[in-house]
Amino acid sequence: MAVGVLALQGAFHEHTVALKKLGVEAVEVRKPEDLEGLLGLIIPGGESTTMSKLAEQYKLFPALKEFEITGKPIWGTCAGLIFLADRAVGQKAGGQALLGGLDCTVHRNFFGSQLNSFEAELPVPSLVQSEGGPSSFRAVFIRAPAIIQKGESVEVLAYYDVSSTLSLEGDEEARLEGQSVAVAVKQGNLLATAFHPELTSDTRWHSYFLKMVQKSGDLVNVSPKQTNPLVKSRSQLKDLPVFRGTDYLSLETQ
């Protein structure tokens, strides 16, 4: 069994490490033929416009769309969330091509610039129900997007409570203090997170995704009722997150 990680740009290596921790073969995907035989795909965080241009250059979009419509699970993190969205605002001039499929509108730089990167404890009841472990997840947001509109078929797995007023671009300026925005969602075979689980040692989101792959192909050696053996208590997560402080500035993000 093998799961692919789109390796055009961004934090793909960290995802391959997490998959290997869970005993799954990780295949770096750069060409259409690399998708053959894969049961699932992760689209990592990175620079979404660059990622889109490279996917067009390597003629990946038709193969990625075919992979998606066959029902094979795809998980997008940060820039990957933008890639999967049907609609995106706050894009650079000229916009970018989107794979689409996820019935939502994403604001590309909802939380601000690279300097506004932050960490937050997110309540994740659906993740805990599936994977066990602590009641919250230490999420790393790096120049992060957020879902500002969603369709009825999109299930929200995690919200972020906006603690201050955010000034969005142009007419999209919003007064959001005391409100919440969706930062993790699921729709059918698509999973998306606005944050970077791959930059922590907590592999519960990866395990959650593998169970989606199992449900799709019934070939992943992870029991649907099995909790993640790598994460049982907060005491095991003292090294979270991997990246801190100015380390955010060294990462290529969307």
Domains of the chain, CATH where assigned: 2-250 (3.40.50.880)
Determine the average pLDDT of the residues in 144-149: 92
- H helices present in the chain, as ranges: 12-21, 48-57, 61-69, 79-84, 125-131, 204-217
Q: How many CA atoms lie within 13 A of 158 on its CB side?
A: 23
Q: What is the pLDDT of residues 205-247, one digit of tens each?
A: 999 999 999 988 764 444 433 444 444 444 344 444 444 444 4
The answer on pLDDT for 105 being more than 70 is: yes
Our CA angle for 81, 82, 85, nearest 5°, is 85
- The two most distant CA atoms of the chain are separated, in Å, by 49
Quote the tokens at residue 16: 């391959």
What is the rounded CA–CA span in Å between residue 16 and residue 110? 27
The answer on pLDDT for 116 being more than 50 is: yes
Instruction: List the catalytic residues.
Output: 78, 196, 198
- In this structure, the chain runs to a length of 254
Q: What is the pLDDT of residues 28-59, one digit of tens each?
A: 999 999 999 999 999 998 888 888 888 888 88
| Per-residue pLDDT at 173 | 43
The answer on pLDDT for 192 being more than 60 is: yes
Closest CA to 133 of 122, 143, 148, 144: 122
Determine the average pLDDT of the residues in 63-80: 95
Q: Rounded mean pLDDT of the chain?
A: 82
Place 176 in a pLDDT band, splitting at 50, 70 and 90. Answer: low
Place 178 in a pLDDT band, splitting at 50, 70 and 90. Answer: low
The answer on pLDDT for 132 being more than 90 is: yes
Yes or no: say if 48 and 82 are a contact pair by the CB < 8 Å rule.
yes
Instruction: Please report, rounded to a whole number, the percentage of residues in the chain having pLDDT higher than 70.
Output: 77
Closest CA to 198 of 4, 16, 6: 16
Non-local CB neighbours of 161 within 8 Å, separated by 6+ positions: 178, 179, 180
Quote the tokens at residue 38: 């894969």
